Structure 1
Amino acid sequence: MSAITVRRADYANASDAAAVVMLLDAYASDPAGGGEPLSDFAKAHLVSSLAARPTAFSILAFDGEQPVGLVNCIEGFSTFACKPLVNVHDVAVLASHRGQRIGEQMLALAEQIARERGACKLTLEVLSGNTGACRLYERIGFENYQLDPAMGHAQFMQKWLE
């Protein structure tokens, strides 16, 4: 096995763009990602749509030349802190490379970039049954979001618009 390298993706680089799509498609196809591959539309427009958003950035991990991990991040805003925050939107490591702390390395770079942007925190959502991911996030300092323990922790909810 080659040394794992982790770096920020260059959306204008064709091989980085292909890696982002391939890795996100692999994640979407995994049960932890919903078990359905990306649509043809998403595959065709993902990278250009991310590139059009200056608040978005991606991290790629490579085993030699092979892309093996992806983190997609999108900057948001904390009204309570009146500072930016960075939402870790996707964390994907190919099944062949899980358990090697690749996710941890990618998230460390995401945290570095978030700090450079002046962000007050990183946020993410994770399925409660994804125990490996939950262990990773807790190990590196993530915890359930709450303001007052008496009110419980936050739940992530969604409402599809299309």
Structure 2
Amino acid sequence: MTDTIRVCLADYANPLHGKALVEMLDAYARDPMGGGEGLSAFAKAHLVAELARVPGAFSVLAFDGEADTIPVGLVNCMQGFSTFACKPLINVHDVAVLSAYRGRGIAERMFGLVEAVARERGACKLTLEVLSGNAGAMRLYARVGFARYALDPAAGEASFMQKWLG
């Protein structure tokens, strides 16, 4: 089988890339590991323009074919800052590959581009959060070099927490 997958940085001004980004994030949101509910109409209508306004945000898309019409993967990233290292960091915020395309190394290829962008920006590390029950994602992240976060094993591992602001 010929590999027809193309991985690229999303151009938020490109309507095909914007459409692909919304389609992929909606597919991820509908997945049980994304919460099981699609994006709101508001998010679909405003996501790309709002992402483009976030300083340091970038997205990586995977397409089946050269025409950028069949999106199959997405990684959204946000640049942050490590105070301890006094350098930028890149938070991997969303990772999605359509189920029919999983197992083909697409996520690994997207992470390769994410890492290249992070290195270009002088980032000291990549961060992400993952649900403990998402065994497939945990295996992927280990394969591409992620490890659980701990400063000192005696203090335990870090936990991701949230507080919704109504």
User: Shorter-normalised TM-score: what interval?
Assistant: over 0.9
Corresponding residue for 1:132?
Answer: 136
Q: Structure 1, unaligned stretches of length 5 or more? A: none
Structure 1 residues 1-150: aligned runs within 5 Å: 2-64=3-65, 65=67, 66-150=70-154
Q: 2: CA distance between counterparts of 1:27 and 1:112?
A: 24
Shift of 1:53: 1.4
SS at match of 2:24: helix
Deviation digits for residues 121-141 of structure 1 (CA, Å, limit 9, x no counterpart): 000001111111100101111
Structure 2: which amino acid aligns with 1:14?
P
Shift of 1:101: 1.1
Q: How many pairs were matched up?
A: 162
Q: Structure 2, unaligned stretches of length 5 or more? A: none
CA RMSD for the aligned pairs? 0.9
Shift of 1:3: 1.5
Give the alignment partner of residue 157 of structure 1, picking from 141, 157, 161: 161
* Identical pairs, percent: 68
Q: 2: CA distance between counterparts of 1:45 and 1:141?
A: 33
TM-score of the two chains, using structure 2 as the length reference: 0.95
TM-score of the two chains, using structure 1 as the length reference: 0.98
Q: 2: CA distance between counterparts of 1:19 and 1:4?
A: 14
Q: 1: CA distance between counterparts of 2:47 and 2:87?
A: 27
SS at match of 1:119: coil
Structure 1: which amino acid aligns with 2:92?
V
SS at match of 1:90: strand
Shift of 1:54: 2.6
Structure 1 runs (4+) greater than 2 angstroms displaced = none
Deviation digits for residues 112-161 of structure 1 (CA, Å, limit 9, x no counterpart): 00000000000000111111110010111100001000001000000000
